[in-house]
Amino acid sequence: MPKEIVKLGPALSGEHADASTIVALRRQAEGCERCDLYKNATQLVFGEGPTDARVVLVGEQPGDREDLAGHPFVGPAGRVLDECLHEAGVDRSDCYVTNAVKHFKFEQRGKRRLHSRPNAGEIQRCAWWLGAELDRIHPEIVVALGATALFSLLGRSVGVTRNRGEVIGTPDGYPVLVTIHPSYLLRIRDGSDAAAERARFVKDLAKVAARIG
């Protein structure tokens, strides 16, 4: 039996946006000023995929490429995610892919925009949208890709290192698979470490395939 937690994160507790469809939600989110991140980002990057998806993948926030393109997981981390999903036997086109935070947070260094991690307040504010996406889709499983997604879904009682690979039941929500963000794999310098971590990520994702059959 999966472990169950008592206290959920902001995306699975409290109030969320309300709209009858994902398209309507997205339209609402385009005018969002719930935190300051909309001010410097190019555009909102909302979730994408089938609205009856059995799997929802949740990342951290859009990166530089995603911010410019307006779509989630289209940069290098998205490519790794696609490959690993494929190896795990999960078709990405069957998944709804989104982020815990919908606007790109960055520090400007000359011409470069360096990724900056969203803080707890920003994650909580943006859970208004992630929770609403989950309410509309009702997936069979949610994959928390990294610490930001995990905090939004399950709060502070669960950690990526501590609970990696576990599928955690949520009494009023959805089972959540705990794993890393694929961008982590891109930062590992040592070739054999990178290969081992990638294999571990594929093994985590295989739990999704096992669950949805």
Residues forming contacts to ligand SF4 in the complex (CB under 6 A) are 29, 32-35, 37-38, 44, 101-103, 122, 125-126, 129
DSSP notation for 32-47: --SSGGGGTSSS----
- Choose among 60, 149, 152, 47: nearest CA to 104: 60
Radius of gyration of the chain (CA): 16
Q: Let me know if 142 is exposed, middle or buried by CB neighbors in 10 A (0-12, 13-18, 19+).
A: buried
- Please, what is the minimum distance in Å from the beta carbon of residue 38 to ligand SF4? 4
- Please, what is the minimum distance in Å from the beta carbon of residue 47 to ligand SF4? 11
Contact 47, 72 (CB under 8 A): yes
Closer residue to ligand SF4, CB minimum distance, 24 or 202: 24
Closer residue to ligand SF4, CB minimum distance, 36 or 193: 36
Contact 151, 124 (CB under 8 A): no
Q: Let me know if 35 is exposed, middle or buried by CB neighbors in 10 A (0-12, 13-18, 19+).
A: buried
- Please, what is the minimum distance in Å from the beta carbon of residue 197 to ligand SF4? 29
Closer residue to ligand SF4, CB minimum distance, 73 or 201: 73
Closer residue to ligand SF4, CB minimum distance, 29 or 80: 29
Question: Residue 121 and residue 17: Cα distance in Å, rounded?
Answer: 17
Question: Residue 32 and residue 88: Cα distance in Å, rounded?
Answer: 36
- Please, what is the minimum distance in Å from the beta carbon of residue 15 to ligand SF4? 14
Closer residue to ligand SF4, CB minimum distance, 10 or 75: 10
- Please, what is the minimum distance in Å from the beta carbon of residue 66 to ligand SF4? 13
Closer residue to ligand SF4, CB minimum distance, 47 or 139: 47
- Choose among 61, 88, 70, 84: nearest CA to 151: 61
- Please, what is the minimum distance in Å from the beta carbon of residue 26 to ligand SF4? 10
